[in-house]
């Protein structure tokens, strides 16, 4: 882990806050923690963290509202950590701009893995966008607009390609049905989740060895999809 990475914790429950502090510092990160949204905003503007761990149930501003506000002026990755465990809550947080969502209680290794993914995505975005992405033995070449497995072409429809390219550029990140629909079909189609489900099923038959047990194109039940390498 890189000691140059700064992690901001916005959490008002002392036991959880302390656990997150110990976990992050134990893996070499610089850590700052605050207990409310107002102090969180000040810390973001003055300290410029690389990653934010955010509880939704804050005493002054709801975490969802804070996420929406932050996304108007910062791309700093946000991992929501919340006791709200309904699928609708996860969708709302992700649609508001969170990069990921963990429900309390959670394991330390799972959180660390999610942190690595969020930081890796940000690092990639800060550099010139990659021209190709790989998962398993599949390569998505954005420059050539081709998808191959072991050098052999995989024929995709235009919509299938757009979905796969979008997921590839956000490797490891959960994308909601609404986010995929908006990017691939347009803003007028954000309520047509079945469009995504149909195309994901078709994609799995083309890129997964066992479509019924996918290794890369993963469903986040009731929320959306995540592509993992």
In a domain, 207, yes or no: yes
Residue 117 has a pLDDT of: 87
Residue 114 and residue 22 in one domain: yes
Residue 182 domain flag: yes
Which tens digit of pLDDT belongs to each residue from 159-206? Answer: 999 999 999 988 888 999 999 999 999 989 989 999 999 999 999 999
Q: Are 103 and 18 contained in the same domain?
A: yes
Question: Into how many domains does the chain fold?
Answer: 2
Q: How many CB atoms lie within 10 A of CB 63?
A: 24
Give the tens place of pLDDT for each residue, 101-150: 999 889 999 999 999 988 887 665 554 467 889 999 999 999 899 999 99
Nearest residue to 93 via CA among 51, 121, 63: 63
Domain match, 140 and 194 both? yes
pLDDT tens-digit profile of 4-36? 899 999 999 999 999 999 999 999 999 999 999
Output the pLDDT for position 229: 85
The gap from C-alpha 61 to its chain's centroid, in whole angstroms, comes to: 22
Domain boundary among 83, 105, 126: 126
Residue 3 phi/psi, 5-degree rounding, is -70, -10
Statement to judge: residues 108 and 154 lie in one domain: no
Where a domain ends, among 74, 92, 126?
Answer: 126
Decide if pLDDT at 3 tops 60: yes
104/147 same-domain check: no
Q: Whole-prediction pTM value?
A: 0.78
Q: State the pLDDT confidence band at 1, using cuts at 50, 70 and 90.
A: very low
Within a domain: residue 20?
A: yes
Residue 1 in domain? no
Q: Do residue 24 and residue 80 come from a single domain?
A: yes
Of 80, 104, 126, at which residue does a domain stop?
126
Report pLDDT for 79: 97
Is residue 95 located within the same domain as residue 163?
A: no
Instruction: Count CB-CB contacts under 10 A for residue 60.
Output: 12
Residues 122, 101, single domain; the answer is yes
- The answer to whether position 95 is within a domain reads yes
Give me the CATH number covering residue 140: 1.10.10.10
């Amino acid at each position: 882990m890189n000691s140059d990475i700064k992690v901001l914790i916005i959490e008002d429950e002392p036991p959880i806050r302390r656990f997150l502090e110990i976990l992050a510092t134990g893996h070499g990160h610089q850590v700052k923690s605050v207990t409310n949204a107002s102090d969180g905003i000040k810390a973001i503007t003055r300290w410029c963290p690389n990653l934010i761990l955010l509880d939704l149930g804050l005493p002054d501003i709801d975490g969802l509202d804070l996420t929406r506000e932050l996304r108007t002026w910062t791309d700093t990755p946000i991992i929501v950590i919340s006791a709200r465990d309904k699928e609708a809550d996860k969708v709302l947080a992700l649609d508001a701009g969170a990069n990921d969502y963990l429900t309390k209680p959670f394991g330390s290794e799972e959180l660390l893995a999610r942190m690595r993914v969020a930081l890796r995505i940000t690092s990639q975005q800060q550099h010139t966008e990659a021209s190709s992405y790989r998962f398993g033995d599949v390569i998505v070449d954005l420059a050539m607009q081709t998808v191959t497995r072991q050098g052999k072409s995989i024929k995709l429809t235009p919509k299938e390609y757009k979905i796969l390219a979008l997921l590839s550029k956000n490797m490891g990140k959960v994308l909601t049905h609404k986010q995929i629909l908006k990017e691939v079909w347009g803003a007028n189609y954000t309520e047509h989740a079945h469009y995504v489900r149909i195309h994901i099923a078709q994609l799995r038959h083309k890129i997964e060895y066992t479509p019924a047990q996918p290794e890369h194109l993963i469903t986040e039940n009731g929320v959306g999809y995540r592509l993992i390498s």
